[in-house]
Structure 1
Amino acid sequence: MPRMTVLAPASPFPVSARVPALGADGMVSASHPAISRAGAEVLASGGNAVDAALAMAAVAWLALPGQCGVGGDAFALVREADGEVRAFCGSGFGPDGGTPDRYGAATTLPRYGPLSVTAPGAVAALAALHVAGATRPLPELWQPAVRIAAAGLPCTARTRDDIGRHRDRLAADPDTAAALLRDGRAPAVGTRLAHPRLAESIATLARDPDALYTGSLADRAVEALVAGGAPFTGDEWAASGHVPAQAPLEGRYAGHRVFQTPLPTPGWMVLDQLAMCDGELRTGGTAPAPLGVEAVHRLAGAARIAFDDRYHRAGADVPVPARAGDPAALAHARERIRAGDLPGPAGARAGGDTTSMVAVDAEGRAVGLIASLAFTFGAGTTVPGTGIVLNNRLARGAYLVPGHPNEVRPRRRPLHTLNTWLVTDDGGRLQHVGNTPGGDGQVQWNAQLISHLLDHGAGPQDAVDAPRFSVFPGSDAGDLGSPAELRCEDRLGPAVLAGLAARGHRVVDVGGHGAGGSAQVVSVDQRSGCLVAGSDSRQEGVALGV
């Protein structure tokens, strides 16, 4: 694609060195070129955005094996061509035998291995998305992933580093080691990583997604987990295979409608952070400088309050009272932020891996999709003979805190970090769709992205590459009570970092691009009708237009 001029208004914060991608008939953006190519090829051959997103999701299992997989979870937000928005939430149940007393005196669940696993929700969500809006058969859409799995995809620096950091625990599982290690070590960059067993599994699931929930693949998974001590019955797997379309959450920000994924995702946290900041960050007048001390302080304070609400009130099936709909609570929260009267941390360390992708077609249909194994390579346990690595979402999301609304229970989905969003105007016209991986950073960086786009008129590439910050800890299950930090990329500038410290934040410098995440955004330029996209420079992704 030729390099072209940015169509968005000039950004008041540092401009990205990368040029945004543009397209007239469709656009995709993802964290790996092979994923983006799969979606762009579907759009170019006449498929719609749902078709493209489904093809991309399957290729992501091969391109980013540490971040997502068949054995993980996935969530999607879909805007149809007529403006209707629906959510598909694919997260599975923990084991039916997983009562609190099953784990004895432990204060956290085992982070890896069979006891860390929930039934996977990704395949069920993608199957539901396919039924709801695809135009092509699932075997056709997943054929590129089957082909890549059989032939192998060159190992990237990201995957090499992921494998290297987790080599010892990957080596402990024979099937996982066979798929990912070479002579007991992380493969060199460029090494083709072929997954012939996974290719067979993906082909089977394309024909029959229920095979992972009530069929042969489910039987193998449950048998292996039970042998490893996990109290699954198989019934929770069958129950996890049904993902209905749901109404999204909706809020307002800067005169726009913002849609988010519902529970068990933390989408409500993004809407509440935005509500706390609405009208206080826009460029012009007496508003604080974009990415200046006061703007960062307000966004960080809103995040800290939202995490405190989540920890104390939120379970996977327990709604949290939204400050966005309570003027008194909203005013109180804003005053606390101004005064620096912020709650102390109750949550846990951020970490883990996820990947996200976006697809928009010429009819205005848009899909934001995000998928994860929880922590890198999930449980590190592969279903024997299938190539399917299982997630460790139970360990990451569920608490062993007696009486807590998120306490581990049979047939309860644990809290999730994944969420995705889209923005329309009041007339329902699509404006932006985006998401980012990054554990508890997601809800914070998504709020920052939306502020960059709506408060300051940033183009999507500038928005995803802008200096990033996050409060730590969030509300993960491990390491409760870690000291509070504000983790900042040093591109904010020394004066801003010093000013934040003076406002009472314990500032931690994470380097120029070290905050994490790999944001993807597609925007509609209403003046030209052109699609404009940005793919985060912090990872190896690319945006492609057709």
Structure 2
Amino acid sequence: MVSSTHWIASQTAMAMLEQGGNAFDAAVAGGFVLHLVEPHLNGPGGDLPAIIATAADPTPRVLCGQGAAPAAATAEHFRGLGMDRVPGAGPLAAAVPGAVDAWLLLLRDHGSMSPAQVLAPAQHYARHGHPLVARVGTTVAAVQEIFESDWTTSADVWLPGGRPPRAGELFRNLAWADTLDRLVAAGEGAGTREARVEAVRTAWSQGFVADAVDHFARRAFRHSDGRVAPGVITGQDLAAFSATWEPAVVREWQGHSIAKAGPWGQGPALLQVLGILDALGDPPDPDTAEGVHALAEAWKLAMADREAWFGDSGDEPVPVDDLLDPAYLGERAALVGRGADRTVRPGSPGGRAPRMAEFAGLTEAVGVAPGVGEPTVTREREQAPREDRGEPDVGPDGVTRGDTCHLDVVDRWGNIVSATPSGGWLQSSPVIPELGFPLGSRLQMMWLEQGLPSSLRPGRRPRTTLTPTLVLCDGQPVLACGSPGGDQQDQWQSLFLLRHLAHGASLQEAIDAPAFHTTSFPGSFEPRITEPGVLVIEDRYPETVRSALADWGHEVLEQGPWTLGRMCAVARDPESGLLSAGANPRGMQGYAVGR
């Protein structure tokens, strides 16, 4: 079974399974196709976290393909350019590309096919074309001015004939096709399958790709704040990076083990929310006003903790055990009242004093510091809430609130993978002409202010929003799921898990049900504002529910009936071996397939 956010990627992954490949071969093939068919949501210059379990070893393991800050990406460098934050778009915002190396590491360690086999579909679509979804053209239109005036290498690719591509138009990326051909050729002379994969990794990180990145990054381009400057990433930064394997963070809930990536992502926040719900009593019904309120308030508390405690930049380990301690989560649950809270309230796990960044908690892009070190931050609203459909919000200079892709695969042997590739968006940075793709902008999630868990430090990973999920029962993997959506990814996943695991909905029923999320916490993407009390909700929720929430103080922002979330899921019953899958109907783009 395969479920992904694009039908071509799902069919590609299924083709690998039908040719005898396993779930990991299928995921790699589908992942490289996602780079092509959803280029506004991910790309080769981006990032990849995944969680897997194998038929031989069901212990969940995390694949970290989140690239680190380049060696020259110091706070002093940015401040010397007159910046008080990392810009939301442009070469300076680029972390080391991690996605391609991570996909290849997954293929080397757990796949069964060669690089030539799994990359063949991506080579075909890059060279011969594929139909573009409408959102690609919309995204290109939003950044057309900067493409034409400054990022001319992007205009060469994305403005053929001087206009954005139309929906359904056949699109080719010949430079990326040539890059894929060279990568595959680099592995053909090696001996074993694993050696061929390693040769491709070397060509990427130490060969012609790294050389092209190094050369291109020296050119000065306009950034989202209007400043013109070169990037700081070098070929040596690519050579120094390798994707890694690490243990998952796991919490028991409703008779299942929920596995997430560590606090360099936002995954532990989902585990916190599940613990807060346990402390509140029986699992809430997310179709009621009471259930929506309880879940939204739990998420406000968890995301405040994310801002104060999560990241890869501190000198001390993130106190995950204390953050997930039942007693601590009980204290957090006690803060959930009847009314909607409008503050940012990080807690004190293990008695530690929380500290937030100077700009965190602001309700607009500029303003005064929110009382660093204080457990509660309050700001009055200074702007109207923006519309939030969970789609990437792209400004004319490439500023992007963020979105991504997702891919889940399970095979007949019981191998299973949940992967959330993102970054390297077409709007994040100028296209490197020799390679056919841009770099990413993940550094925008790091603060120039030092001493924080998410401070900008060379060699440290940005705290990412990317957050795949693996679920086990009695030690056996039974479910892989995830969703695009920036800060909202885990919020939508909590709805899905609550409906499926606690209330018995099928995969598809849980995906199809009405969705909501809160934005009442510091955002991860430029301009990184907080929207106090805002609750974004599909208008399929009954008017009685929406009215009750407004009465309780939520600033209800209604959206269209099928607009929030792009959940994917695959499942396996260990006893019968029966496989199942579900895909999101929102946008008419996701696709589940199996045989």
Q: Fold conserved (TM > 0.5)?
A: yes
Which is further off, 502-511 or 335-344?
335-344
Structure 2 residue corresponding to 1:140, chosen from 89, 110, 117 = 117
* Distance of aligned partners of 1:276 and 1:323 in 2 relative to their CA distance in 1, 3 Å threshold: farther
Alignment deviations for residues 438-489 of structure 1 (CA, whole Å, 9 cap, x no partner): 0000121111211111111111111122211111144315334433211111
Question: What residue number does 1:488 align with?
Answer: 537
* Distance of aligned partners of 1:458 and 1:224 in 2 relative to their CA distance in 1, 3 Å threshold: same
Contact persistence 2:70–2:232 (CA under 8 A)? yes
Q: Structure 1: how far apart are the matches of 2:78 and 2:469?
A: 36
Structure 2 residue corresponding to 1:446, chosen from 476, 480, 493 = 493
Question: What residue number does 2:47 align with?
Answer: 73
SS at match of 2:422: strand
Letter in 1 for 2:83: A
Q: Structure 2: how far apart are the matches of 1:313 and 1:274?
A: 18
* Distance of aligned partners of 1:41 and 1:475 in 2 relative to their CA distance in 1, 3 Å threshold: same
Question: What residue number does 2:203 align with?
Answer: 211
Contact persistence 2:500–2:506 (CA under 8 A)? yes
Q: Structure 1: how far apart are the matches of 2:313 and 2:450?
A: 17
Question: What residue number does 2:440 align with?
Answer: 391
Q: Structure 1: how far apart are the matches of 2:574 and 2:244?
A: 33
Structure 1 residue corresponding to 2:177, chosen from 199, 210, 234 = 199
Letter in 2 for 1:335: A
Q: Structure 2: how far apart are the matches of 1:181 and 1:313?
A: 42
Structure 1 residue corresponding to 2:471, chosen from 420, 423, 428 = 423
Question: What residue number does 2:154 align with?
Answer: 176
SS at match of 2:408: strand
Q: Structure 1: how far apart are the matches of 2:563 and 2:281?
A: 24
Alignment deviations for residues 128-186 of structure 1 (CA, whole Å, 9 cap, x no partner): 11111000001210111001100011122232222223322333423322222222211
SS at match of 1:532: strand
Q: Structure 1: how far apart are the matches of 2:182 and 2:301?
A: 45
Q: Structure 1: how far apart are the matches of 2:87 and 2:295?
A: 33
Shift of 1:124: 1.3
SS at match of 1:259: strand
Q: Structure 2: how far apart are the matches of 1:170 and 1:232?
A: 21
Shift of 1:529: 3.6
Letter in 2 for 1:307: M
Counterpart check, 1:406 vs 2:381: no
Which is further off, 400-409 or 213-222?
400-409
Q: Structure 2: how far apart are the matches of 1:425 and 1:277?
A: 20
Letter in 2 for 1:274: L
Letter in 2 for 1:421: T
* Distance of aligned partners of 1:341 and 1:379 in 2 relative to their CA distance in 1, 3 Å threshold: closer
Shift of 1:234: 3.3
* Distance of aligned partners of 1:213 and 1:500 in 2 relative to their CA distance in 1, 3 Å threshold: same
Contact persistence 2:279–2:330 (CA under 8 A)? no
Which is further off, 473-482 or 247-256?
473-482
Runs of at least 5 residues in structure 1 that lack an aligned partner in the other structure: 1-26
Shift of 1:315: 2.0
Contact persistence 1:272–1:322 (CA under 8 A)? no
SS at match of 1:278: helix
Runs of at least 5 residues in structure 2 that lack an aligned partner in the other structure: 188-199, 221-229, 345-359, 363-385, 391-400
Q: Structure 2: how far apart are the matches of 1:498 and 1:320?
A: 39
Question: What residue number does 1:332 align with?
Answer: 331
Q: Structure 1: how far apart are the matches of 2:528 and 2:144?
A: 27
Within a 5 Å distance, the mapping from 1:195-344 to structure 2 comes to 195-206=173-184, 207=187, 208-228=200-220, 229-240=230-241, 242-278=242-278, 288-318=284-314, 319-322=318-321, 325-340=324-339, 342=341, 344=343
Letter in 1 for 2:144: R
Question: What residue number does 1:119 align with?
Answer: 96
* Distance of aligned partners of 1:324 and 1:523 in 2 relative to their CA distance in 1, 3 Å threshold: farther
Counterpart check, 1:519 vs 2:515: no
Contact persistence 1:95–1:232 (CA under 8 A)? yes
Counterpart check, 1:39 vs 2:13: yes
Q: Structure 2: how far apart are the matches of 1:475 and 1:93?
A: 20
Which is further off, 146-155 or 161-170?
161-170
Contact persistence 1:310–1:475 (CA under 8 A)? no
Letter in 2 for 1:326: D
Runs ≥4 in structure 1, deviation > 6 angstroms?
none
Q: Structure 1: how far apart are the matches of 2:171 and 2:573?
A: 39
Shift of 1:402: 4.0
Shift of 1:245: 1.5
Shift of 1:217: 1.1
Question: What residue number does 2:347 align with?
Answer: none
Alignment deviations for residues 343-396 of structure 1 (CA, whole Å, 9 cap, x no partner): 62445898212000111000111011111116x52523112311022111112x
Q: Structure 2: how far apart are the matches of 1:407 and 1:239?
A: 20
Structure 2 residue corresponding to 1:163, chosen from 118, 135, 140 = 140
Q: Structure 1: how far apart are the matches of 2:468 and 2:27?
A: 13
Letter in 2 for 1:509: E
> In percent, how many aligned pairs have the same letter?
30
Shift of 1:292: 0.8
Contact persistence 2:217–2:231 (CA under 8 A)? yes
SS at match of 2:547: helix
Question: What residue number does 1:101 align with?
Answer: 76
SS at match of 2:478: strand
Question: What residue number does 2:190 align with?
Answer: none
* Distance of aligned partners of 1:320 and 1:505 in 2 relative to their CA distance in 1, 3 Å threshold: farther
Question: What residue number does 1:19 align with?
Answer: none
* Distance of aligned partners of 1:325 and 1:313 in 2 relative to their CA distance in 1, 3 Å threshold: closer
* Distance of aligned partners of 1:32 and 1:391 in 2 relative to their CA distance in 1, 3 Å threshold: same
Shift of 1:281: 7.2
Question: What residue number does 1:64 align with?
Answer: 38
Contact persistence 2:96–2:233 (CA under 8 A)? no
Q: CA RMSD in A?
A: 2.1
Which is further off, 97-106 or 64-73?
97-106
Q: Structure 2: how far apart are the matches of 1:161 and 1:480?
A: 23
Q: Structure 1: how far apart are the matches of 2:67 and 2:164?
A: 30
SS at match of 1:509: strand
Q: Structure 2: how far apart are the matches of 1:97 and 1:378?
A: 23
